Amino acid sequence: MPESATPEALALRVEQALREQAAPELRVTRLAPLIGGACQDNVALDVELDGERLALVLRGDSPSSLPGSLGRRAEFAVVARAAQAGVETPAPRWLVRDALRDGADAWCMPRLEGSAIGRVVTSDPTLAEARADLPGRLAANLARIHSITPQHDGDLPLPDLEAIRERGAAAFATAFVRDMLRGLPEPRPALHLALRWLERHIPDERELVLVHGDFRVGNFLVAPSGLAGILDWEFAHWGSPWDDLAWITVRDWRFGRLDRPVGGFARRAELYRAYERVSGRRVDAATLHWWEVLGNARWAAAAAWQGERYLSGEVPDFELVAIGRRAAEMEWEALRLIETGPTWAGWREEG
């Protein structure tokens, strides 16, 4: 959001935009910037409308974005469709323009209770019961997300549908990572090696569904009562359902709990059994392993890209340097997975 704007001035600006474009009687009583969000500005809003007090989050376009990320107008449409399909996500309320930045879109959603912080979700004793329930809840939500298909919802404002249909989701995703590498100023030989393996082992799959695109710990809220809501849809796209199912097992999203490959809180069998049951799809170890290698390689490239955003002076946020340093760990993990293969392939025999 504008660096020079005080919270008071920003609150007045947001109030004016919401009044003019959405709710003429609305009054903003509090505004506070929220941390996080590589592709958008997020602020917490308390508003009064028709005698009711509402706790909201306003998500607005930021000046820069990451490769593959949606703008807020497209994200609004995707989240609205997901909520309609029964996904546990805060339903979007208003889409407005110029609320946080001139010419930028923004949309409101209810503000939910719960934590998305990785080490809290994976380790906080007060969330122990919620963690036990998460595999089933997440699997059910993934099945609902993946029930949205281009055959019935091809008008969603998601890019590259025809190219993905023609090339296949796996080949398209691999080419996307290679394009990211071309945009980096320094060579990444480990990533090139991983990509060569990925390109030589493209899985034979043609099903296309809505993919959340960043389905992991950190992008859903967890409260003691369980899953509170799924957030952060800016990387939604048409693709393979196995992309989402593999992404949550990427090493970096385990937050140090490497013994719990699903997000640092569950075993694979817990998630895979639940997903098979509710989705009707059968988990294929070789295909899912390929997507896990791809996920680690993609995050390595994205982490390197984030570091470059700071080093180039584009975004003066020192946190991006820390993210950039993680690229090497993800490169190592991708190569390790290639060497070992899916050591978990016998998950069906787990008790």
The burial of 349, by beta-carbon neighbours within 10 Å (0-12 exposed, 13-18 middle, 19 or more buried), is given as exposed
Buried b / exposed e along 299-327 (16+ C-beta atoms within 10 A): bbbbbbbbbbbbeeeebeeeebeebbebb
Q: CA 87, CA 251: separation in Å to the nearest integer? A: 26
Specify the pLDDT at position 7: 83
Residues of the chain with pLDDT > 90, as a percent, come to 85
pLDDT score of 3 more than 90: no
Confidence grade of residue 37 (pLDDT, cut at 50, 70, 90)? low
pLDDT surpasses 90 at 180: yes
Amino acid letter, residue 81: R
* Residues 6+ positions from 166 with CB-CB distance below 8 Å: none
Q: Is domain 7-110 in CATH 2.130.10.10, yes or no?
A: no
Residue range(s) occupied by CATH 3.90.1200.10 in the chain: 118-349
Q: Where, residue-wise, is CATH 3.30.200.20 in the chain?
A: 7-110
pLDDT recorded at residue 304 = 93
Rounded mean pLDDT, 79-92: 98
Per-residue confidence (pLDDT) for residue 313, from 0 to 100: 77
Give pLDDT, residue 234.
96
Strand segments (E) across the chain: 27-33, 40-49, 52-61, 95-97, 105-110, 209-211, 220-223, 226-230, 237-239
Q: What is the mean pLDDT of residues 319-338?
A: 93
- Of residues 316 and 142, more confidence is placed in 142
User: What is the average pLDDT across 147-167?
Assistant: 97
Residue 45, pLDDT > 60, answer: yes
| Contacts by 37-41, CB closer than 8 A, 24 or more apart | 37/62, 37/232, 38/66, 38/69, 38/306, 39/65, 39/66, 39/69, 39/70, 39/234, 40/72, 40/234, 41/1, 41/100, 41/101, 41/106
Q: Could you give the CA distance from residue 167 to residue 202 in angstroms, rounded to a whole number?
A: 11
Please give the CATH topology (third level) of the domain spanning 118-349.
Aminoglycoside 3'-phosphotransferase; Chain: A, domain 2 (3.90.1200)
> What is the arithmetic mean of pLDDT over 80-104?
96
The phi and psi torsions of 267 (rounded to 5 degrees) equal -85, 155
Query: Whole-model pTM?
Result: 0.95
